[in-house]
Amino acid sequence: MSTPATTLESLRRLETLYSQGYQSEVVDQALRDVVAQELQELRREASLITADIAELERKYQMKSADFQERFNSGTLGDDADFFQWSALNGMAHSLARRLQVLEYGP
Q: What is the pLDDT of residues 27-56, one digit of tens each?
A: 999 999 999 999 999 999 999 999 999 999
- By 3-state DSSP, what share of the chain in percent is helix, strand and coil, each rounded to 5? 80, 0, 20
| pLDDT value at 106 more than 80 | no
Residue 23 lies in a domain: no
- pTM of structure: 0.81
Measured from the Cβ of residue 64, the count of other Cβ atoms closer than 10 Å reads: 19
Measured from the Cβ of residue 32, the count of other Cβ atoms closer than 10 Å reads: 10
Residue 14 lies in a domain: no
| pLDDT value at 1 more than 70 | no
| pLDDT value at 105 more than 90 | no
Residue 22 lies in a domain: no
- Res. 3 pLDDT band, cuts 50 70 90: confident
What's the domain range around 80? 29-104
Residue 81 lies in a domain: yes
